[in-house]
Each structure stands twice: as structure tokens, then as C-alpha cells.
Amino acid sequence: MLKSKTFVKKTRSGGVMKIVREHYLRDDIWCGSEACTECKQESTELLKDACIESNLCSFPHYLVPDTNVVLHQIDVLEDPVIRNVIILQTVLQEVRHRSAPVYKRLKDIIHEKEKHFYTFTNEHHRDTFIEREPGETANDRNDRAIRVAAKWYSQHLKKFEADTDGLCVVLLTNDQGNKQKAEESGLLVYRFEEYIKSLIANPELVDRLALSNNDKNEITSSKVLFPEHLPLSRIQSGIKSGSFLQGTFRASRDNYLEATVFVQGEGEDSTEVLIQGLQNLNRAVHQDVVAVQLLPRNQWVAPSSVVLQDEGAAKDDAVEEGEEEKALKISAAEAARKPTGKVVGVIKRNWRPFCGMLNISQIKESTRHLFTPADRRIPRIRIETRQASTLAGQRIMVAIDGWPKSSRYPNGHFVRSLGGAGEKDTEQEVLLLEHDVPHQAFSQAVLSFLPKMPWAITPEDMAKREDLRHLTVCSVDPPGCTDIDDALHCRELENGNLEVGVHIADVTHFIRPGNALDKEAANRGTTVYLCGKRIDMVPELLSSNLCSLRSNVERLAFSCIWEMNQKAEILKTRFTKSVINSKASLTYAEAQMRIDDVTKNDETTKSLRGLNKLAKILKRGRIEKGALTLSSLEVRFHIDSETHDPIDLQTKELMETNSMVEEFMLLANISVAQKIYDEFPECAMLRKHPAPPPSNYDILLKAAKSKDVEIHTDSAKALADSLDVAKVDGFPYFNTLLRILATRCMMQAVYFCSGMDSDFHHYGLASPIYTHFTSPIRRYADIIVHRLLAVAIGADSTYPDLMDKHKHTDKHKQSALSNNLNYRHKMSQYAQRASVAFHTQLFFKNRGILNEEGFVLFVRKNAIIVLIPKFGLEGTVFFDSKDKTGPNLVFDEEGPTLSVEQHAFHIFDKVKVTISLDASNIQHQKIRMALIDPVIPGVSVPAPDVEPLAKKPKIDS
């Protein structure tokens, strides 16, 4: 069965090196078609009646795309209409080499059963392997290999012509030369555009086509607008010799003609190079990795403070760029000048599909339109579409295909429509995409690893676990929570001590290391909670059912059980995998009511009271050690059950039971952290919260001083104590404001691997060691910790990656797990905030203009930032406007104070503002605030006559 021929492949790398590799050719690679009776294959991917209705091919056919088609048109290939495609190994390898994201998408398609994609290993097939001929380039060779394989297929399928009504293969290529050669050899071949346009049922696919080279030429004028990018070899030698710098390109949010390139230097130091003007920006797009050349010192400029947006109709390519850039040419003081440079080449494009909206071209018949991305740092993109009228007013996604040097704008293509702008679902989708939150439905490959329903605990599971079903376990969560990952119990032991247990859903029982489900969860990193929507990290079957510790069902758990005395001192700690049966799922309010209700004396309530008592002692102990209680206003929307519009909002209320649950979760996390660190000092996944550098506290200290309050920031303990005593008479809200400010001074807590760092301290919790153990349904870090702990207690087996600290944390690899988790965590927080902001806007949209009291939180050069405690809303009141001359502003850094005309604003000043929704820019709706009180002529606005916020929210409004 094995025909072995040895071939010789030569490659040169660096010096002269001859690499000889064997290449076995086989005769047992099957064609994968249902129609075939010759191949001895076990399963077939390609259907016998492979029909896509097309003008060009009225007979059943299989598609064979070449590499460039796959690379550029993956958006179209993903469409459910495109089925029965043969992906050649040559193509797959080339794609893998050229673009990792496209490769991943292609793999996903191949795994999708419905799509009927088949991978044909043509490079190892006896009849389809070809050797590179002398003088032939690698690309030509691969093209030929694709043709040979397609030819083989058409001959192979011809044998069964009788019962397949003319089944054949269609080669898709955009390469003229390739197409011609294929035609010569008698193959059925079409250009991809040609084929897609011929599809009868699906005209909308045409818009998704990426523009190929020859199309671009039509669009752009022949005038060269931009300097040519240098080839990679010259860039590399330039970087080596120091004449170019390599860095990440960051476009300015406010000025489309300005950007900075962030150059990472040796070690810690890094420099920023300023880039100004279209010519110098030279087609770089935000987040690209570029090479820059510094301009001579006399051409250095200062960053302009002007806000410039690329607005209006499409500018002609030939427009005098001088006009656009005139605004920039402001002579700046010598000192303010910064290193300035120009982009000479792009090392790596970091393009992704962008969300935004279409600006319809003024010419009605035109099919070319400009697209304005939601992210202001991305330039406008020119796309071609015939459905402009339907797409107007919708949020759409567009991918960039290229940016020729003769075009003012990059060229792109339409990917898909997200829905009408301003609609809740659409906006949610937009903010998920813009924050890079993976939110697609779980793929088939992932779902295949779910347990089969109906699921029950097997006797084998039972034998390996401790049976804790008899315990009175209950869970306490926010209302409406379906992913319950923790439950608690407390009972008195015979010796008078208390036994307290924290039971965490045993997610790792279902998610085994290394499989697709595990990889997907690792990639998602965290569940993202938006207002009214949850983006799960693991499929719903697990998150809301099998892993959710609901009441009165048997669930697998990982338990952490302490024996404590009445003073809440831990006497014994043990960890075990268990089976529990929760007796009640309570909300915080329900639990609180049970504790307070003296008439109730059932098991659950007693257990809750015991927990509550211990929690109070634990909390006191923790605060004595210097744990911080910080404050940030969180709001909760009351959402209409039918329209899903926010009808009311209130700041979250904290009850005793909140802190009760929190206290035991902290305790469990700390106990587990200690255990896994003792067991695996090199590779424990921990979480640390570094102490902020003293300079971070400046703003807090200044603010406190303005009210004659002393804040000590030498240690967490000092800070906590001084915050506790900071009070101003007649200003009850002062302390909360101070805590809000203190929160802003903190550093971000991060995951890390114990072997890669020496500082483990958690500043905020004042704990020497900490990790995340208690929410494995919604955080991937907890899954890793569960696995480590399971190995530590011998309940589960380990696997190599778990013990490899380099896989967990690696400074230089983005792919390292904890980096990804930290990134996802950060992005999910941003997405959450954006979602709250959007719902706040919706709320105010229905309310019209409101007058509210607020406090000045920060003072800036030209504005004050006001916090409205009632809504937990922060807004900026600007004192200068673009068009008219502003009032006289004097900013004092020391106070800090801002004097507007006669009035001076301090931090914590009480002000009155009007709140309204500014919907002038549909993509960037925002809350606008204007000053009412104190009255400053020419600045403040008269208080509009509105009824105070309706006591009874009107649902019909």
C-alpha cells in the first residue's frame, strides 16, 4: 500500500545548505466524493448532487479554489451557499504560510459538516505530485500542482459520468496566466468574480467579493499620491543599520492627519515618533507595524492640538493636499517639537474587518461609496456595492483589501450588515466587534466535545468523589443569574467548631485539556456581561445547566472545606472533588431576608446565619490587615421585559450578603493559591495587584488637600485608614468621591505564572498571594487553577502544557495564556463600560433634557468632568467651543483649579448641569452636559423647564 519514491528537495537558507527530505507518494489517498465507487474510502465529504444554481454551470460541480482566491475571498467562501469545495493540500499549506487568521477560518469551514469541504492531500498522491522544474518559481509550481490536481479530479470523476449527470470540477482562479494554462489543458475554469456573479439565487454575495488587482486599476486615477513602500529586504537592512525605526503605528483619534509610531527600544525605554501629513503617513493604518525614517531636526514639529476629521464628500484623488494640511502648519515653539518622521514601509498589516457606516456617494448611480469606520483612528474606506440604498443607515462591516499608492483611500469590500444604526442589537454587535470579543456561536467542533444529553452522574464519577449531597448547601447570586458557579454551606461540628464549605462548579470535569472546547474557552478567556446580554465563555449547556449549581439537582463540584473555630480562625483546610445537591438558589435580597427574619429557623437559614457571622469576622480581620474598600459607581438598568429598553436605572445596592459571599470566595481563592503555589512553585497561575507608583496618587492627594484632608499613601493600610477618617462636615458624599478617586489611582490586577515573577502581592486585598478559583464557568484562569489543584490533590491527571511556565506567561509571546487572559479581561471590561454607556444614552434618549446635581471629579485645561451620583454617570462640560471664541480660561496645575471668567472650579465642587443626548453624529452619540449653576455669563445655560425625573417611569415614553 505504500509506494515509496524518494525525491530530493533543495532549499537554501542563509549560507548554502542542502536539505534533503524524503517525500513519499501514496496510492491510498481517496477523492472524497460520494459519487466515486473506485476509492476505498470510509466516509465521504463531497455530495453526489453538488448543486449551486449558476448561469455558468448548470450541472453539478465541485469547486477547486486556488490559494489567492482562498486568501482574499474567505468572506465569500464562509457563506453557507458555497458547498462542496475541494481544498487542495497545496492551497492549505500556502494559506497557512501566508495568513494565520485566514488559515484558522478555513480550518473552521473544513470542520463544518454542513459545508462539505474536503481536503485532498494532493502533494502525496501518486498521480498529482509534481516536481519543480528548472527555472520554475515556487508559485508557478504550486499553480501547476493545483491544475494537475484539478485535472486528475475531472478525469477521475469522468469514470462515473453515467450516474452523476455530468459531475465535474470547476477551478476558480483570479490569475490570468493560470486561467489560460488551465483552459489549454481542457479544464473548466472561471474567475472567482465571474463565478459568483453567475450564481442565480444569491446576488448579495457579489458585494462581499474582495477587489482584485485589475479592479483597483479602474477605480483609481493614475496619479501617484503616495511614495512607494520600500521592499522588506531594504526595510530590514535599514532597521539593522539604524536608519529606520520599527514600531506600531497609532493613529490619532482627533486628527486624521496625525499619528504616532511607538518604537520599543532596548529594554524598557521606548520612544514615540510623530508623523504628520498624508504623505508621511503613507497609507499606514492604525495598529500596523511600520518602519519609519526620522526627518532632519529642522523639520520636526509639535503635535497640533487641532481636532480634524476627514469629513464631507469623497475627496478627489487629485485634490491639492496642501489645502487639507494647511491647518496643521502652525509654527510651534522649539521646545514643544518632537521627533518627527515618515513611514517608509509597512512590515505587517494588522487589518481586521471594521464596523462603521456608509456615506452614500452623491452620484445616484455610482456603485462606489465611502465607508466611515466607527473607530476614528481608521481611515475611510472605499467600497463597491450595489445595495447602497439598503445599506444606508445600517451598521456594516468592511474589510480592507489594499491601498494602492495612487488612491486617496484604501479599497475594501463589504463583509456583512449588522443591522440598523442605533438599534440595540446592532450596537451591541458593534461594540463586541470593536472590543475584539469573540462572540460567534460555538462551532461544531467545539460543540462535539459537550457531554451527550441526558446527562447523569455515573457510578464511576461517584466512586471518585466525595458524596456531599446530604449537606445543606445553598447559593447566593444576583437576581436572574443562570450561571451559578459557587455554593456555600456551614454547619456546626460536634466539637463546637464550624465546618464551612465553598463548592465551585467542576467545569474541568467537562472541559478536558487540549480539545477544541478547551481551546475555544482559552481563547475567549472570560464571559462578557453586557446590559441584558451575556457572551458565554463555554457553551450554554455547560454554563447554564450542567455546571450551574442549581437547586435540587445533583451537580459535580470542587469543594474547599475548612474547619473553623468560632473566631473564624482556620484550623484545617481540605480540597476535594465532590457531588452536591444545592438546597436553594437565593438572590442576595432573599438571603438577606432569611437572615433578618427571626421566625425562620430552617437548616438553610441557620447555615446562612453562621456564614454571615464568620464573614463579618473575616472582613474585619482583612480590613485590619489593610485591605482597601474602594468605590466605583455601578448602575443597574431596569429593563423593560418586552422592548428591552432601559426604563429606569439605579446604582447598585450592596447588602450584607454580598460581602458574605465575597468574603468566602476570597478565602477560598487565597487558600487555593497557597496550596497550588506550595505544590507547583514554578507553574502556579496566580493573580497579583501591584502597588501603584507614588506619582499615581498625586491627583488624590491634591484633591484631598483642597478640602484640608490628609491622605497617607505609604502603604495600603495607611491609605485605607486615612480614607476611613476622611470626612468633611456637611458633605456626606465626600468620602465616596474620595474613594472613587482612589480607585482611579490603582493599577490593573493581572494573571501571571509563579515561576516568571517574584512579586506576588495583591495590594487591594492586602493578601500575600491570590488567585482565581471560584468562577470557572466565566473565567478561564479558574479552569487552569482547578486543574492545578486537582493534580495537587491527586484527583486528576496532569498534561504537559499545564506544567510549562512558558506557555502560561511569556513576555514576548502574545499567544501566552496569561497575556491573552489579561487582554480579554481588559477588553471585556471596556465592552461592559461601553454597553453601560450605550444604555445610558438610550435611557436619556427617552427622557429628553434633564437637570441634575453633580460633583466636579476632575479639572482639565478646558473642561471639568462632572459625576452625577444619581446615575453613576460621568460627563464632560467643555468651556471652549470650536466655532466661537471661548471664555477666558486660566488653569492652575497646583490646585488644580480652572478659572472661567470670574468663577474658579475646584475638585468636589457641587454643580448643576443639564443632561441631553447629542445625536448629531449617529455613529458617535454621546451624552452632552451643560452648566446651569453656578451661573457664568456666556458659559452656563439657562435651566430648561423640564419636569424633574419622573417618579413613576413612563413605560410608553
Partner 1 sequence: MAGLELLSDQGYRLDGRKATELRKVQARMGVFAQADGSAYLEQGNTKALAVVYGPHEMRGSRSRTLHDRAVINCQYSMATFSTAERKRRPHGDRKSTEMSLHLKQTFEAAVMTQLYPRSQIDIYVKILQSDGGNYSVCVNAATLAVIDAGIPMRDYVCACTVGFVDETPLADLCYAEESGGVSSLALALLPRGGQIALLQMDARLHQDHLETLIEAAMTACKGVSKVLDQVVRQHLEEVSMLTGE
Which CB, 119 or 497, lies closer to partner 1? 119
Question: In the bound complex, what is the minimum distance in angstroms from residue 494's beta carbon to partner 1?
Answer: 41
CB neighbours of 815 closer than 8 A, spacing ≥ 6? none
Q: Does 100 bind partner 1 (CB under 8 A)?
A: yes
Which CB, 119 or 417, lies closer to partner 1? 119
Task: Give the range of 121-129, 422-430, 665-673, 824-832 binding partner 1 by CB under 8 A.
Answer: 121-129
Q: Does 516 bind partner 1 (CB under 8 A)?
A: no
C-alpha cell at 445: 467542533
Containing 700, the helix (H) or strand (E) segment is helix 698-706
Which CB, 645 or 679, lies closer to partner 1? 679
Distances (CA, A) of 745 to 94, 354, 522: 49, 33, 30
User: Over 4-60, what HEC string results?
Assistant: CCCCCCCCCCCCCCCCCCCCCEECCCCCCECCCCCCCCCCCCECCCCCCCECCCCCC
Q: Does 4 bind partner 1 (CB under 8 A)?
A: yes
Counting residues that bind partner 1 (by CB under 8 A) gives 30
Q: Does 514 bind partner 1 (CB under 8 A)?
A: yes
Task: Give the range of 307-315, 704-712, 792-800, 902-910 binding partner 1 by CB under 8 A.
Answer: 792-800
Which CB, 477 or 518, lies closer to partner 1? 518
Which of 262, 455, 731, 799 is the binder for partner 1 (CB under 8 A)? Answer: 799
Partners of 734 in beta bridges: none
Question: What are the backbone angles phi and psi of residue 229, rounded to the nearest 5°?
Answer: -75, 145
Which of 72, 107, 772, 824 is the binder for partner 1 (CB under 8 A)? Answer: 107
Q: What is the rounded CA–CA span in Å between residue 753 and residue 768?
A: 15
Which CB, 123 or 175, lies closer to partner 1? 123
DSSP per-residue string spanning 568-586: --EEEEEEEEEEEEEEEEE
Q: Does 824 bind partner 1 (CB under 8 A)?
A: no
Alpha carbon 391 to its chain centroid, in Å, reads 26
Beta-strand pair 168-172/61-65 = parallel
Which CB, 544 or 809, lies closer to partner 1? 809
Residue of 561, 779, 558 whose CA lies nearest to 667? 561
Using CB under 8 A as the criterion, what x/- string covers residues 573-612 for binding partner 1? Answer: ----------------------------------------
Rg over CA atoms, the chain: 32
Which CB, 107 or 689, lies closer to partner 1? 107
Q: What part of residues 40-79 is at the interface with partner 1 (CB under 8 A)?
A: none
Which CB, 813 or 861, lies closer to partner 1? 813
Which CB, 121 or 394, lies closer to partner 1? 121
Which of 75, 123, 485, 909 is the binder for partner 1 (CB under 8 A)? Answer: 123
Task: Give the range of 640-648, 799-807, 823-831, 869-877 binding partner 1 by CB under 8 A.
Answer: 799-807
Task: Give the range of 223-231, 474-482, 631-639, 798-806 binding partner 1 by CB under 8 A.
Answer: 798-806
Distances (CA, A) of 425 to 387, 480, 533, 688, 896: 22, 20, 10, 36, 42
Which CB, 93 or 735, lies closer to partner 1? 93
Q: Is there a cis peptide before residue 454, judged by omega within 30 degrees of 0?
A: yes
Which of 715, 797, 902, 921 is the binder for partner 1 (CB under 8 A)? Answer: 797
Contact 835, 425 (CB under 8 A): no
> Exposed, middle or buried: residue 489 (CB in 10 Å: 0-12, 13-18, 19+)?
buried
Q: Does 22 bind partner 1 (CB under 8 A)?
A: yes
Q: What is the rounded CA–CA span in Å between residue 350 and residue 483?
A: 35
Contact 116, 84 (CB under 8 A): yes
Contact 523, 551 (CB under 8 A): no
Question: In the bound complex, what is the minimum distance in angstroms from residue 805's beta carbon to partner 1?
Answer: 12
Q: What is the DSSP letter of 359?
A: E
Q: What is the DSSP letter of 636?
A: E
Residue of 781, 510, 756, 790 whose CA lies nearest to 676? 790
Which of 96, 216, 315, 712 is the binder for partner 1 (CB under 8 A)? Answer: 96
**Local structure of 167: helix, strand or coil:** coil
Question: In the bound complex, what is the minimum distance in angstroms from residue 886's beta carbon to partner 1?
Answer: 53
Q: Does 26 bind partner 1 (CB under 8 A)?
A: yes
C-alpha cell at 836: 453601560
Which of 37, 39, 97, 265 is the binder for partner 1 (CB under 8 A)? Answer: 97
Q: Does 570 bind partner 1 (CB under 8 A)?
A: no
Which CB, 29 or 245, lies closer to partner 1? 29
Task: Give the range of 88-96, 206-214, 516-524, 555-563 binding partner 1 by CB under 8 A.
Answer: 88-96
Positions in the binding site for partner 1 (CB under 8 A) = 2, 4, 6, 17-26, 89, 93, 96-97, 100, 107, 110, 119, 121, 123-124, 514, 797-800, 804
